[in-house]
Each structure stands twice: as structure tokens, then as C-alpha cells.
Chains A and B, each alone.
Chain A
Amino acid sequence: MKLNLFKLALKNIQSRRTRSWLTILGVLVGVTAVVALLSIGTGVQEAVLQQFEDIGYDIILIAPMGSGSGQARAAMTGMMPGGGMQGRLGTQASDDSDASAPVTFNPGALQSSSDEEEQPSTDKGTQHTTRAVQTALDTELLLEQVPQLIEAGTLGTQIQPVDTGSTSGFLRVSTPSLDFLNAFSSVLGGFEISEGSFFSNTTQNQVVVGARSAEQLELEIGDSISINSVPFTVIGVLASTDGDAEAEETADDGVLSGQGLAQNLGTGMSTDLVLRGLTNTDDALFVLNERASEALVGRTMMSVTITRVESGASITETKDAINVAIGQQDATGTPISIQEVADEIQGTLSLIETVLASIAAVALVVGGVGLMNTMYTAVLERTREIGILKSVGARDGQVMTLFLIDSGLMGLIGGMLGLLLGSVLSMLGTRLLGPSLGVGSFTPIIDAWLVGGVLVFSFLLGACSGVWPAWRASRLNPVEALAAE
């Protein structure tokens, strides 16, 4: 009997095509939004989790100063592909209209705590923040102090005045230590030299330039530039990471962004040295930490020490030991494990996903109200038809079921189409949003739960929206219904 009612409901939908499609459209929009946001949100979470897994949960970061997790998360954000701080170098000449050379700096995720800050200063057209030089950890000593640690390296970041002779401004200078490059090359993304070479020694003032910096500053291999009034020689230019085919290729190889660094330092390092992160390599300069500590003083923003815990050691106990070591070195810093950072970022992403899904759900509810309106109108329009059905023996329950199937079907059709459209949009959204979300390329997650949930929910939404109209229809007096015009 239900099958017969199903066919009748389908007939009703077909006979009111325009209105049915408009109603379905309302549900479709809501479902599309929900599917796209949930699948992208889940995809981002999976991608982030994957990045942390790639980095490894045996890593402990020692973030500079502050209270810990926020700092470390900021540090991690800075190291995650595509995330973190952005620095732009440009002319500080009077030609402010030169759009190709904006001079801005957003301290972003790599700020140190306020009690350590100097007052920010603002130049014409330029925002930058100078910081006190932090008391850096001696990583070799740290390895001795904390036997659970098997590797340690330093990654510094500075904002420095850069002068090429024709152009000047402030630019981010990333300062990975040799230890860092040696120990963590496999866990942090990377970059690729397109011209010249990578660092060959720690005694000369060498700089490797990001692709966009090189282009904007018109730098070539062998050029000399001044960083904080100290002369440096450009020895390499990195390949661009601007979402191009190369970046995608890299992503396909399992590196979420950045490029593989295929130059050795002449120190026995892997030729496939990769440094994931250091983020936004296009706009940065790279100087070995060992040189930076000698040649570049002042304006040090932050230095993150990254350590690896030996297999089987307790992360918590190791953190405690690191804290003791930091005190003994009279240095500053807060250890935080990758797990803690991951948990915090996951929590934030989940919250964002919930908020976005809630907003999308509102669209879905609006679609449901539209469906209810359509069904209510249909009851009014089909009053005589209801009377006919009752006169030929339809029970109240059958009339109600007929309308419920009618509205449920529209909900289900809207759900199916919304699922398809949402999937397509999430695929497109992935390509568009991936780089800006800081997770590079990722895949939206559309699993059986999402598909089943959406279909069931959209049918129930349709059916529930039709409950009241259907109930009204079922309660109509057949004599009055037959008399309706």
C-alpha cells in the first residue's frame, strides 16, 4: 500500500513541476551548504592531523617565553605549510603607488608575549614590530641536560631592514640552524632551489632568497644586499610556491606544500633535504642561524627550538626535564608537545566547523520552512482532491502518509541533488581554499556517514516539514473537502 501511495506522491510532484522544483531548490541550497562545509571542514581536519602525523608526535617544541601552548601553536602555525607570518619587502621610496612592492608586515602567529615586547614602531607605509633578543637555548647543552632528547635544532625568525641599493624595506629573515636542517629536514616541508645553490658554509654571509623577493628586489645570484646594515651575498633563489603545478606535484608526493630542497650544504646532509614550512618562502630571506646570531643582532622576533624525544620516553616527563634545563641555562621558553598543539588546533577547527555547519543548518531550516509552505499551499489547493480520496475510501492515515511521502520525497530529492552539488563545490573549494587555509592541498571528506546522514536527514526534514500540512489534510471533513472549489 505504501508503494501505491509513493507512486501517487510522485505523480503529485510531477504534476506540479515548477513549484516542486522551487521547493526542492530551497532544500538543495541548504544541503549543499552543509555538505560543502562539513566535507571541507573534515578534510581540513584530516589534512592538519596528517601534517602532525608527518611531523611526528615525538616532537617537542620549545616556544619562546609566554605561557606555552598559544606560543607554540603560533610557532607551529608558522611552520605549517602556507600558514603563519607574512612579510613583504618593497621600496620605501615615495612611490607608494607601486602595488608590486607593498611594505607591510603582519607579526601574525609568531609574536612573543607582551611582557617581552618593545613598543612597536610604525614607519611610513610600513608596520613592523621590533623585539628584544631572546635568550636562546643552547641545543647541544640541552641534549646533554635532557637525555630523553635525541635531536634538537633551532629555527629563528627575524624582521630586518633590508637594502639592495635600489630598494629598501623590512623583510622576514628565517634563520634555520644547521642542526635544525640536519635533524628535522624530513619532518618539516621543504623548498627547492631554482637558481644558484644552498648554504655551503657557516662562515660566510650567505642568503637564499624567496622567489617573489628575488623578483621584486631584482636580485640575482652573486648580488650583495644589506641586512640590518650587514652585507650578505645572494647564493640561491627558491622556486615559487604559489599554488602552481610544482606545488601540486609536491603535494601529490605527500608533501602538503612547499618544495623539496635538493641541495646539500656540503656537510653530509641529505640531498633531499626538505624543510616543510618556514612558510611563505616566496617572500622571505634565509640566513643560517649560525651567521644570523653573529651578524644580525636586534629585531629578533622569535626562535623556536625543536626537539625529538627518543622512542618510548614519556613526553610529559621529558617536558618537565626540558623546563628544568631551560631554568639551568637561564634561558626562556615553554615546551609543548606536538600532541598538545594538534589537540588545540583540532579543537579550534572543530569549533569553526560547528559554527559554519550551524550557519548552513539555518539555510537548511529555511528550506524546510519553504517546503512546509509549499505543502500547506498544496493542502489548500488539493482540498477537493483530498475529499475525492476520502470518498473512494482513503483513510485519514493514508491521506497523511501521502502528503508526508510527498514532502519527504521533495526533501530527499533536494538532499540528493544538494549532496551532489555540495560534493562538487567542496572539490572546487578545496582547490581554492587549500592554500589560504594553510593546509596546502587536501581532499574533502565525503564518507558514508555524511552521505547517509544527509539523505536521511533531508527526507526527515521534508517529512517533518509536511507533518502539519499533512495532518490538516487528513483531518479535513470529506463533505467540506468535496465542496471546496
Chain B
Amino acid sequence: MLVLQDVSKTYQMGETQVHALRGVSLELAPAQFSVIMGHSGSGKSTLMHLAGCLDVPTAGQVTYGGLNLSELNARARADFRATEVGFVFQKYNLVANLTALENVALPILLQGKSSKESRALAMQSLELVDLGDRVSHRPSKLSGGEQQRVAIARALVNGPAMILADEPTGNLDSATGDRILTLLRDFRQDDKLVLVVTHNPEIGELADTLVSLRDGLIESHTTQEVAA
């Protein structure tokens, strides 16, 4: 269970303080497809960064499975990201000079596993997203949908407990976007917490848990039955 308890995040932009989140409290359960919606500047990406240990809150605390993520040092946060979190970004964020296979293997290589083992796991992960035949292609040789699937394969390769996706279909056509969403939603069956941040209401309609943010505050929080 991912729990945000009275979480605030303030950024200093020059002399101006920007309050991205203002005392947000939220519980997100595993095996659910959770969607955070909101307009630009609503704080949804900040919430995802805090959930994924990419950032720390200014106030409040974020816990996962009883572990207070807010108190972790930089190294422990990195380790948490390496083992428990898989990120999927709108811009795919693949390393340009690495092949699809190398991109997917990257998290495992950073954990110190052997090249052979890393390649094998990466291959499995790529096959899971139907890209087994594109392993030696660099990102520039892949379509947007393929790149996003590589990113999803990379997010999965470590067997993380949660998948955090920030506008995962933002750069894709609707058909490809639907395919990606289906892929992401399927992961909840593996008891993973899938959290998608988006401003697209169509994605919100697919959510098990839908949270709407506005100006750093929760505007609405609903849980609904979603057909599998």
C-alpha cells in the first residue's frame, strides 16, 4: 500500500515559492489501476515523483509497505527505485546510444548483475511487450509506440511492485495509446500497483481508483468497478 499522509511539496522558483502539493493524503492499493488526473500545474507529476522516490516531500510523509520513503537517504531512495519502482514517461526517456535490449537491461546492470543474466531478463521483458524482434534497434530506429513499449519493458524488468507512468500515451496515436494502456492495466493482475498520471479523461474512465488534483489539492477521489 502506498500512503501519502498530509504531503506538501514546495519549489523555489527564483524568489517565488510554488506550492505543487498542499497537504495531500492518499492511499493507493496494489493490484489496482490508479489514475491521477489534473490540469498542468495541478501537482500530479509531483505526486508521482514523490511516490516513486524521485523526490522528497517538503512536509508530510510517503510510505510504502510501512517504509517511510521520506526519511530515506539518497542511496536508499536509489535502491528503492531500482527494486520497487518502474517508471514510464511521456517522452519514453530511453538512452539514445543503447539498443532496445541494452536500455531494458540497464536497471539490472546497475544492480551489478552479470551481462548474461541482464540480457536474458531484458529479452524476457521485451518479449512480454512483443518486441522480441527489435532488440538490437536503437531508439531512433523505433516508432513512438515501440519506444514506449521498450520503456515499459525496462520498467518491468526488475519485477517492481509499482509501475508509475506519466502521460504514457501523450505522444502516441490513439490506437497505439490504447495498446499501451491495455498493457499497463494488465499489470495489476500481477499484484502490481499501477499509477498513471494524465490529463486525458478517457484514461480516467479506465481507472480502478481515480484521483483528481487541482492546484495541489485533491479535488475528488473515487474508486470504481472496472471491467477487466
* Binding-face segment, B81-89, B191-199, B214-222: B81-89
Answer whether A392 and B98 are a contact pair too, CB < 8 Å, given A387-B93, A479-B49.
no
Question: Would you give the shortest CB distance from B190 to chain A, in whole angstroms?
Answer: 19
Whether B74 and A15, one on each chain, are in contact in the complex, defined by CB atoms closer than 8 angstroms, is no
Answer whether A392 and B97 are a contact pair too, CB < 8 Å, given A1-B112, A4-B109, A4-B112.
no
Residues on A with beta carbons closer than 8 Å to the beta carbon of B118: 4
Answer whether A8 and B79 are a contact pair too, CB < 8 Å, given A388-B93, A388-B95, A479-B54.
no
Whether A7 and B115, one on each chain, are in contact in the complex, defined by CB atoms closer than 8 angstroms, is yes
Residue of A nearest to B81 (CB): A393
Answer whether A393 and B112 are a contact pair too, CB < 8 Å, given A11-B97, A384-B93.
no
A390 within 8 A of B: yes
Q: A11-B97, A394-B82 are in contact. List 5 more A-B contacts (CB 8 A).
A: A4-B110, A11-B98, A388-B95, A390-B54, A391-B93
Bound-state Cα–Cα, A459 to B106, Å: 26
Question: Would you give the shortest CB distance from A121 to chain B, in whole angstroms?
Answer: 76
A398 within 8 A of B: yes
Question: Would you give the shortest CB distance from B176 to chain A, in whole angstroms?
Answer: 22
Question: Would you give the shortest CB distance from A153 to chain B, in whole angstroms?
Answer: 75
**Which residue of B94, B96, B111 contacts A393 across the interface (Cβ within 8 Å)?**
B111
Bound-state Cα–Cα, A477 to B53, Å: 12
**Which residue of B74, B75, B82, B96 contacts A392 across the interface (Cβ within 8 Å)?**
B82
Bound-state Cα–Cα, A66 to B109, Å: 75
Whether A394 and B78, one on each chain, are in contact in the complex, defined by CB atoms closer than 8 angstroms, is yes
A290 within 8 A of B: no
Residues on A with beta carbons closer than 8 Å to the beta carbon of B97: 11-12, 14-15
Whether A1 and B110, one on each chain, are in contact in the complex, defined by CB atoms closer than 8 angstroms, is yes
A:446-485 near B, CB below 8 Å: 477-479, 482
Whether A393 and B93, one on each chain, are in contact in the complex, defined by CB atoms closer than 8 angstroms, is no
Answer whether A389 and B87 are a contact pair too, CB < 8 Å, given A395-B79, A482-B93.
no
B:94-139 near A, CB below 8 Å: 94-98, 102, 106-107, 109-112, 115, 118
Whether A393 and B107, one on each chain, are in contact in the complex, defined by CB atoms closer than 8 angstroms, is yes
| Chain A 11-28 per-residue mask, 1 if CB under 8 angstroms from chain B, else 0 | 110110000000000000
Answer whether A479 and B55 are a contact pair too, CB < 8 Å, given A392-B106, A392-B110, A396-B78.
yes
**Which residue of B55, B83, B106 contacts A389 across the interface (Cβ within 8 Å)?**
B106
Which residues of chain B have a CB within 8 Å of any CB of chain A?
49, 52, 54-55, 74-75, 78-79, 81-83, 87, 89, 93-98, 102, 106-107, 109-112, 115, 118, 154, 158
Bound-state Cα–Cα, A389 to B93, Å: 10
Bound-state Cα–Cα, A12 to B82, Å: 22
Whether B54 and A393, one on each chain, are in contact in the complex, defined by CB atoms closer than 8 angstroms, is no
Whether A390 and B78, one on each chain, are in contact in the complex, defined by CB atoms closer than 8 angstroms, is yes
Question: Would you give the shortest CB distance from A298 to chain B, in whole angstroms?
Answer: 82
Which residues of chain A have a CB within 8 Å of any CB of chain B?
1, 3-4, 7-8, 11-12, 14-15, 384-385, 387-398, 477-479, 482
Residues on B with beta carbons closer than 8 Å to the beta carbon of A395: 74-75, 78-79
Answer whether A390 and B81 are a contact pair too, CB < 8 Å, given A478-B54, A482-B93.
yes
Bound-state Cα–Cα, A389 to B115, Å: 17
Could you jot down 21 A-B contacts, CB within 8 Å? A1-B112, A3-B115, A4-B110, A4-B115, A12-B97, A14-B97, A15-B97, A385-B95, A388-B94, A391-B54, A391-B93, A392-B106, A392-B110, A393-B81, A394-B78, A394-B82, A395-B74, A395-B78, A395-B79, A396-B74, A397-B75
Whether A393 and B109, one on each chain, are in contact in the complex, defined by CB atoms closer than 8 angstroms, is no
Residues on B with beta carbons closer than 8 Å to the beta carbon of A15: 96-97
Bound-state Cα–Cα, A398 to B89, Å: 22
Q: Which 4 A-B pairs have the closest CB atoms?
A: A393-B82, A15-B97, A1-B112, A392-B107
Residue of A nearest to B52 (CB): A391
Residue of A nearest to B55 (CB): A479
Interface centre among A4, A387, A388, A392 (most CB of B within 10 A): A392
Whether B154 and A392, one on each chain, are in contact in the complex, defined by CB atoms closer than 8 angstroms, is yes
Question: Would you give the shortest CB distance from A186 to chain B, in whole angstroms?
Answer: 66
Question: Would you give the shortest CB distance from B102 to chain A, in whole angstroms?
Answer: 8
Residues on B with beta carbons closer than 8 Å to the beta carbon of A392: 81-82, 87, 106-107, 110, 154
